A and B are shown apart, each in its own frame.
Chain A
Amino acid sequence: MNDLFFSFIPGNSILHRLDPRTKIIGLMIVSICILQISSFSGMALVTLIFAAFVFACKLPLMHFVRSVRPMIIFFLLIFLMQLFFTEGTPLFSLSLVTVSYEGLILGTILTLRFVFLLIFAALLTATTSPSGITAGIERLLRHFPLRHAGISSHDIAMMMSLSIYFVPMLYDNFKNLRDAQFSRGLDIRKEPLKAILSLSVPLIGMSVRAVDDVAMAMESRCYQSTGRSSMHVLEFGRYDHLFILLYFFVVVLCLIF
């Protein structure tokens, strides 16, 4: 389970040492820029920025390939939809549809956008511990008047933190269930519907019980959504200020490209 996509890779690189808030804000800015870029030169620039980070942090490239891999069918669908259904200068025709030059360009740009959104998100999770991310989000949300709407930033952070914690737990439960059902003769190829039901129903039951147990453990340890303190001290350092400056350059470059 340690090789799961979007997992944290411990380290001491410049990105690892940044305040989570700087990285979260950075991801938001980069994401907006990626969505704005519609040229290959812009995409090349984003690739360079990404490569520089990966190289500087000495992160394994395979980690990012793993982050993209589960979405390949989705990317392919996006690409094909643009390729076949965008009107423009025809390149060639297949029986029912015509592939246009504009479709090819649009499909490639759109697919690259999604790929970059994913790998930059993976860059954040690879260099920030899950608790760092939730602490960062919690601190950022404090600046919004959520409490007037009866929402606590602690609650949101706790929900996120528990969701991240539950993913591997769910996966472990799923593997145990799958092994148990297979050992009792379940054949997913012969009876796919039965297999889905026999795995999903107990998995939901187990998850509900696990949530109930965790809620009781939290209550028992005096959980309260307001007035909590934290063991994490988030402080902006020299590099954080430098990165905030860097974000302005990224925005300017994005506007140019």
Chain B
Amino acid sequence: MIKITNLSYRYPDGTLALNSVNLDIKKGEFVVIAGKNGCGKSTLLRSINGLILPSEGSVAVNGMYTSDRSRVMDIRRMAGMIFQNPESQFIGMTVEEDVAFGPENLSLSTEEIHKLVEKSLRAVEMHEFRDHTPRILSGGQKQKIALASVLAMEPGIILLDEVTTMLDPDSRNEILSLVKRLHENGTTIVYVTHLLEELVHADRLVVMEEGRIMHDGDPRTILSQAKVTTFGFNLPPIIELSRKLRDSGIIDRTTFPLSKDELMEALCQLK
């Protein structure tokens, strides 16, 4: 579904943000891209959305290359993107108008636009806020609206760029549940984060460092085997605890809990 081949991207000031990145993402996968700030993960997401063009290599979404500008609208419709700051991605005066912005750009009929707006707002449980000004909503509600705005374009892939960074824990959990539900309904998820505790639902973890992919595979395998220092950032306490319990032989070596719930279940099974 997404094929990235030898992708390099250099900013106009000469900084190399992506260095020969190769990545294949299949339909229906939930991929978490993690890494410390400045490792190139957001740049990678913007390359997939066609917002920036490769300096070298190629990015193809459903066989359409981002370098082919005649297909860029199709790519953006197929791969919707949500940004980190919910404040700066609103375009409409009201929640409803903001969600309608995408379908309006796709030249859909007024009737279709209203249907999509209703469906998307219900999907994120924000239909009661349709007449509100986005500005007055909480951070979590704003990010839900941003998600609804992307859903209104009926994408097959959703690209999320550190969408929970500015949210409180409750809002973060709500967004994660919504993302999980979308994934269960068949949407391909590419989720950029530096919070590893968020990858509990992921099928695959891609760890980036200095514009390169350092690890790519099953989250449990990577986190249980790779050295902490290779990630370039601290592991969440739950994962560190899981490692210590496993290394001490307290919990089963074949299991590696990634979340609080999984760890509790593993501990409850102790005899």
Contact = CB atoms under 8 A, between A and B. Distances in A.
Interface of A: 1, 10, 129-131, 161-162, 164-165, 168-169, 172, 209-210, 213-214, 216-224, 227-233
A165 B90 contact: yes
Interface in B79-114: 80-81, 83, 85, 87-94, 96-97, 100-110, 113-114
Contacts of B114: 231
Contacts of B90: 165, 214, 217
A231 B131 CA distance: 14
B43 interface: no
Contacts, number: 95
Nearest to A158: B91
Which of B76, B81, B97 has most A Cβ within 10 Å? Answer: B97
Contacts of B131: 10
Where chain B touches its partner, the secondary structure class is helix
B104 A230 contact: yes
Contacts of A1: 135
A227 B81 contact: no
Contacts of A213: 83, 85, 88-89
B76 to A, nearest CB: 5
B88 A210 contact: yes
B105 A224 contact: yes
A227 B104 CA distance: 9
Which of A131, A217, A232 has most B Cβ within 10 Å? Answer: A217
B93 A233 contact: no
Contact of A231 (B83, B100, B150): B100
Given A224-B105, A230-B104, A231-B117, A131 B94 contact: yes
A231 B88 CA distance: 22
B11 to A, nearest CB: 14
A229 B110 contact: yes
A129 B105 contact: no
A96 B46 CA distance: 68
Interface in B123-167: 131, 135, 149-150, 153
**B interface, how many residues as a size bin?**
35 or more
29 contacts: A129-B94, A131-B92, A161-B91, A162-B91, A209-B88, A210-B87, A210-B88, A213-B85, A213-B88, A214-B88, A216-B51, A217-B83, A217-B89, A217-B90, A220-B49, A220-B76, A220-B83, A221-B76, A221-B101, A221-B105, A221-B149, A223-B105, A227-B107, A229-B106, A229-B107, A231-B96, A231-B103, A231-B104, A231-B114
Contacts of B243: none
B108 A130 contact: no
A222 B105 contact: yes
A162 B100 CA distance: 15
A224 B73 contact: yes
Contacts of A228: 104-105, 107
Nearest to A227: B107
Contacts of B91: 161-162, 165, 214, 217-218, 221
A235 B131 CA distance: 21
A164 B135 CA distance: 13
Contacts of B85: 213
Contacts of B153: 221-222
Given A131-B93, A162-B91, A223-B105, A216 B83 contact: yes
A230 B105 CA distance: 9
Contacts of A162: 91
Contact of A129 (B51, B93, B103, B149): B93
A161 B76 CA distance: 23
B77 interface: yes
Nearest to A210: B88
A228 B91 CA distance: 15
Contact of B135 (A168, A220, A227): A168
Given A162-B91, A220-B76, A221-B76, A169 B135 contact: yes
A234 B22 CA distance: 50
Contacts of B94: 129, 131
Nearest to B159: A220
Contacts of A129: 93-94
A227 B73 CA distance: 13
Contacts of A221: 76, 80, 91, 101-102, 105, 149-150, 153
Nearest to B101: A221
B83 A222 contact: no
Closest 9 CB pairs of A and B: A213-B88, A217-B89, A231-B100, A222-B105, A221-B102, A231-B113, A131-B93, A220-B81, A130-B93
A244 B219 CA distance: 67
A248 to B, nearest CB: 32
A219 to B, nearest CB: 6
